[in-house]
Structure 1
Amino acid sequence: MPTEFRQLKQLAKALGLTYQQLLQRYRADRGDGAPRAAAIAWAQQEVQRAQEAKEREADDAAHALHASFADSRTSRWAPLIFAPSLEVHASLIRRVKVDREVLPRLSLGHYLDAALRTELPGQLACMEDLLESLGNSPLQSSSSIRVTFRLGQEAHAAVSSLKSALTAANLPHQKAHVVSALTARFLATLPQGPATSPRNRKQG
């Protein structure tokens, strides 16, 4: 049987925390006098809640991808020339190969479209906070690649709003960085396997 210390270290790792950070969060939640013996049960509940939240995020991302694909089948999409980072572009190529198992006609633009429609709205009020949350180092031209994506009207409107917000914040050259980072964040929330529609999974 693992010792109490080892169990707490494993649980802390599952939460992305150190052992000390886990204990600090436990005491902040339960009080300074909370017994350490009860920390394992508390941490197990925290891990379960975190896993459930991650699963909900994955379902939301899969739903957004399917919604983007459906929109592209029923409305006119327009091209957008964009320079994602090489890393994000490579991630898109790897990911689309996985999801074409359930959506054979899926394209890279569907991910960009879904990311812009789900990740960007509501975050334009303060560009500094958004950039800080994404990591605000600007992309270098040598680390990006110009690609033509086709996007829906809502995504194009989001890009236009982003450009206006960045200009107002005196950060006009950060568009590629923001869109790349938002796309990377969206890709990270998708399920590990093919992004089956959550609605279809429930019906099955």
Structure 2
Amino acid sequence: MSMIACSIVDLDDNPDASKWYLETHVPRVVAKLGGTAYSASKMEENVFPDMASIEGQYITRYELPEGTDAKAAESHISTTSEKLPLSAKIETRMYERQETWYGEGWRGHIRDIQFFQMAFWQTSEAVRDDFVGWLRDDFFPNMADSPELIRMSIFKLKHASISQNGNTEQKNPENMYQYMGVWEVSSTYK
């Protein structure tokens, strides 16, 4: 199964660090690892106030080539560069793709994605297949009626780390939300 990496980045609202991260670091990682990446700013308003949101200004998603080693990719994505404030935090998560559904508007390239929404959740392995079946057979088909929705995916967390204060700490995926759903649309959220 293919892998993606997701980095959640908190740069303490530092404009120079943001510019370096988006314009230098992300393209450098793509050049080293291959694949593609896209970054998004966190919405200022949490449209789901009853749910916890991520801590950080940016989320970058890296579509990794088949066979990419998760730990090697993590070492390129995590950075303790002098271009970042010491308090900057980069949480890197490596996910294995479980299921993907494509809408009629999918043309095979991430440049078509204008907006995406992510949801993290936990489910026991005992009900995982039933849950994915419900998503596939009931939930996603109803959403797929929207012409703007071009791709929906489910991923399982395989590896995670946090880089902060010049150190990188490995996280135990068993203690985190192990599943992530991503909804990608071809127009901006209204």
TM tier, shorter chain? under 0.3
Give 1 or 2 for the bigger CA radius of gyration: 1
Q: Which has the higher helix share?
A: 1
TM-score, length-scaled by structure 2: 0.24
Q: Which has the higher strand share?
A: 2
TM-score, length-scaled by structure 1: 0.23
